Amino acid sequence: MIDYQLFLKAELEGLYGSQVLKDMKDIIALYDFYEGKGQDWTTPIDLDYKPTKIKTNKAKKLIKEEARFMFSRTPEITIKALEKKDEEKAKKLQSVVDDVLKKSKFPDKLIKAARDCFIGKRVALKLNADKNKGIKVIFRPSLEFIYETDPEDVDNLQKIIFFYGQNDSENKSEQRIWKQVYWLQNNKCYLTEGVYDGYGNLVESIKENEYIGIDFIPCTIIVNDGLTGDMNGESDIEELRDNQNIYNRLKSDDVDALKFNMFPERVAINASENSLKNLKIAPGALVDLQTDPTSENQADYKTVESKFSYDSRFENTINRINNDMYDLLNVPNISLEQLKGLMQSGKSMKALYWQLITRCNEKWAVWGPALEWMVEKIIILYKTFVDKTLDIDFGYSINIELLYALPEDDETERINDLAEVSAQVRSRRSYIEKWGIAEDSEEELQQIAKEQALLQDSFIGGVNHELGDEKDEK
């Protein structure tokens, strides 16, 4: 295994460095726990039986549910011109961004990045720009980067180092570690990239102190929860760890207790040693029990059944711990049985998921601006490295809507909105724009007006024709 402490010693100095390395060890333990390896426990070695070990990984399931709820429907990104004359330019920018995200497989990467963020406290969103390959969106987990910010502004990224091991050699001289460093100097972004051995010695230089033509680092950091000024973030796995460990041990002990109670103890009294040696335990077996010659009493054979009952107490305890884990992440513990008798409309489902919605809204306060930054920088990088003729010098807005995986009462809402239009408390334009009936609401309204005028003209023409016929008859 690669020792990153030795490799990064040139980048990490003093107390700051020791804190970063300690945090990396904690994150490794968090990932081990998420995968199940870190949920193991030691058992006494002086027992007459081998204790059962069952690891039901609720923590992994809950992290996946949380990320799935937040990003299984990819956020909707819309670029709109502030003035009508620039609408075609805005459509071009929209096409550029959509194409970059599609080629980057953004929906899949986004949900996986959310899991990494919830487990490892933070992720890096990185943009790679290449004249031939175009722009690519990349997410990096917290074990593959360290970063520095402005001492007076933690949102102002000053330096970031990406690294990962290219092999698993135990020999440090044969280990190969890729490292990439971005930093700002005099409002210019520079890049150094190379491959190193396990001792931190340069093996292959790819780029050295190269100015890459932009005035910002093409990365942003997404921190999970935390307090003001916190650069590390918090792990959702940490909240589940204690309950997960108790849950696993209780289930394992329950299996052992069930096995012991299924097979009662057999007791032979005053029986001879030879008859006990020939004793067979099998369905329908005949017990040839003989009295020990040295005993004054008749031989006796019986079973001792356990009268211990713990079913209700165990169920209450295991269910309480299970519910605690769901409550800690605000994920509703809903099964088909629990949904019986509940109205499964959009509103009722939204009420059931309300706490998880508010939790995700809190996380979106960090993810939203990061994705807006991504869209803005994709446009700048595309013009800088791919197509210098792209027109970006006009007013436009970037809107990103978070879409939750919940059923919506669209039909009811549409009926209510139409009633508001009829009551003249909502405009037709507002209704058209809300429901996306047409890309250009103004053109749609003009078309509606034309059709109404045609209908009115035809109606008047028909009335006049009937009046003319009546006059002719007279």
Q: pLDDT for 130-144, tens place per residue? A: 888 899 999 999 999
Amino acid 347: pLDDT = 73
Range with lowest mean pLDDT among 18-27, 192-201, 223-232, 299-308: 299-308
Question: What pLDDT, on a 0 to 100 scale, did the predictor assign at position 277?
Answer: 79
pLDDT band at 296; cut points 50, 70, 90: confident
pLDDT at 44: 85
Answer for the pair 58, 325: CB distance below 8 angstroms, yes or no: yes
* pLDDT recorded at residue 170: 86
pLDDT in tens, 97-116: 999 999 999 999 999 999 99
Mean pLDDT computed over 69-74: 96
Q: Please give the sequence-ordered ranges of beta strands (E in DSSP) within 151-298, or none if there are none.
A: 153-165, 177-185, 188-196, 202-211, 219-223, 265-269
Model confidence pLDDT, tens digit, residues 232-241 = 999 999 999 9
**pTM here?**
0.81
User: 3-state SS string over 98-121?
Assistant: HHHHHHCCHHHHHHHHHHHHHHHC
- DSSP assignment string, 214-248: -SS-SEEEEE-S--TT-SS---HHHHHHHHHHHHH
CB 333 within 8 A of CB 326: yes
Q: Which one of 174, 198, 233 terminates a domain?
A: 233
Residue 177: domain span: 4-56+75-233
What is the pLDDT at residue 419? 84
What confidence category does residue 290 fall into, taking pLDDT thresholds of 50, 70 and 90? confident
Residue of 238 and 1 predicted with greater confidence: 238
Mean pLDDT, rounded, of the chain: 86
Angle among Cα 181, 144, 325 to the nearest 5 degrees reads 145
Q: Around Cβ 326, how many Cβ atoms within 10 Å?
A: 19
Q: Which two tokens stand for residue 368?
A: 């939203």
**Residue 406 domain flag:** no
Q: Where does a domain end: 185, 213, 233? A: 233
How many domains in the chain? 2
Q: Which residues pair with 193 in a beta bridge?
A: 180, 207
428 pLDDT higher than 80 = no
DSSP H or E stretch at residue 257:
helix 236-262
The reply to whether 266 falls in a domain is no
Give the span between the Cα atoms of 168 and 2, in whole angstroms: 7
What span, in angstroms and rounded, lies between the C-alpha atoms of 16 and 20?
6
Neighbour-count burial of 332, counting CB atoms closer than 10 A to its CB (0-12 exposed, 13-18 middle, 19+ buried): middle
Using alpha carbons, select from 139, 184, 185 the residue that is nearest to residue 162.
Answer: 139
The mean pLDDT of 254-264, rounded to a whole number, is 78
What is the pLDDT at residue 471? 53
Structural domain ending residue among the three candidates 233, 257, 272: 233
In this prediction, residue 461 carries a pLDDT of 58
Q: What share of the chain in percent tops pLDDT 70?
A: 83
Query: 460 or 317, which is more confident?
Result: 317
Task: Average the pLDDT over 193-209 and give the result.
Answer: 91
Q: Express as a percent the part of the chain with pLDDT over 90.
A: 54
pLDDT at 327 over 90: yes
pLDDT per residue over 381-427, tens digit each? 999 999 999 999 999 999 999 998 876 656 667 777 788 778 876 77
341 in any annotated domain: no
| Torsion sign, CA atoms 154, 157, 159, 160 | positive
Measured between alpha carbons, how far is 118 from 64 in angstroms, rounded to an integer? 9
pLDDT of residue 73: 94
Examine residue 245 and state whether it is found in any structural domain, yes or no: no
Averaged pLDDT, 208-217: 96
pLDDT band at 15 (very low <50, low <70, confident <90, very high): very low
Q: Tell whether 284 is covered by a domain.
A: no
* CA distance linking residue 118 with residue 112, whole number of Å: 10
Tell me what pLDDT residue 424 has.
Answer: 74
Residue 314 included in any domain: no
Asked whether residue 273 is domain-assigned, the answer is no
Please tell me the distance from the alpha carbon of residue 181 to that of residue 217, in angstroms, as a whole number. 10
Query: Which residues are 16's β-sheet partners?
Result: none
What average pLDDT score do residues 119-133 get? Answer: 94
Q: Which of 78-92, 101-115, 295-309, 448-462 has the lowest mean pLDDT?
A: 448-462
Torsion of CA 33, 35, 38, 39, to 10 degrees: 90
CB neighbours (10 Å) of residue 421? 14
pLDDT-derived band of residue 274, with 50, 70 and 90 as boundaries? Answer: confident
Report whether pLDDT(371) > 60: yes
The answer to the question of residue 291 being in a domain is: no
- Which pLDDT belongs to residue 9? 59
Burial call 194-210: b when 16+ CB within 10 Å, e when fewer: bebbbebeeeeeeeeee
**How far from the centroid of its chain's Cα atoms is residue 380's Cα?**
28
